[in-house]
Amino acid sequence: MVRLGAVSYLNTRPLVEGLDQRPDVALRFDVPARCADLVEAGEVDLGLVPIIEYARHADDYAVVPDVAIASIAAVDSVALFTRQPIERVQSIALDVSSRTSAGLVRLLCARHFGIRPTFQPAAPDIEAMLATADAALLIGDPALFLDPASVGAEKIDLGLAWRAMTGLPFVWAVWAGRSGAASPAVCRLLYETRIRGVAAIDTIARRERPGDEAGQAVVARYLRETITYGLDGALLAGAQAYFDGLAGERLIPRAPRLRTFAVDGPPASARW
């Protein structure tokens, strides 16, 4: 039995498709920050954790190869909502569900937006957040489905901002756990689940928005065109650039390299 802690957002669905039906898998869902806490506490073997958590535990953690939640450019579901021009923002409310995105906001403010605002943790309630801060970070489904005009705000997509700053994609989350937590068979299971899940996106969309063809099209487009689920090439370079930036801003002690669990067979590019 392998114990898995997954993120409860829509973009996770292709990575867990069918796992809840397997007798050898115990699967639970939480927000990203909670998934990270469960791995650290040993309550799950692997968590689909914010990639910043790997950086903070790199001496002890490894990641499942070739599986991630990432975006090439726009991500749609991680954004700043602001009622001020970004250059005039002096305070930002940070969604407490997030860790990777909160780190990215700090990095972008320092190196891309050219501002040094104050930051305050907040529950993901956009009206309450914007009542106390100039801008608000929202992640996941709340950010994806919020119409910024409905709260009188501009939406700044953090995937696009990162791409503009670095020219690289961004890796948001990975399957991670303590060294030895994932056997080659578990790594293969999670990779094969990714492949099946991406192939089942239309089925997932119908399940997520039953009877709503327009909603199904939005979900399918988001999962198929906006989110990408690999972890190689430019995605690895994007992850490393994020670690390097965090270390440069002293948000983590040092910039690690991603270390994967051992698997049988040839190198990652041809492993599966």
pLDDT number for residue 8 = 85
pLDDT number for residue 266 = 43
- Tell which residue, 112, 146, 138, has the closest CA to residue 32: 138
Q: What is the pTM of this model?
A: 0.93
* Same fold for the pair 2-70+170-220+227-270 and 78-166: yes
For the domain with range 2-70+170-220+227-270, which CATH number is right: 3.40.50.300, 1.10.10.10, 3.40.190.10, 2.60.40.10?
A: 3.40.190.10
pLDDT (tens place) for every residue of the chain, 272 residues total: 999 999 889 999 999 999 999 999 999 999 888 888 999 999 999 999 999 999 999 999 999 999 999 999 999 999 999 999 999 999 999 998 888 999 999 999 999 999 999 999 999 999 999 999 999 999 999 999 999 999 999 999 999 999 999 999 999 999 999 999 999 999 999 999 999 999 999 999 999 999 999 999 999 999 999 999 999 999 999 999 999 999 999 999 999 999 999 886 543 433 33
Q: What is the CATH code for 78-166?
A: 3.40.190.10
| All residues at 6 or more sequence positions from 237 whose CB lies less than 8 Å from its CB, including other chains | 168
Q: What residue ranges do the domains of the chain occupy?
A: 2-70+170-220+227-270, 78-166
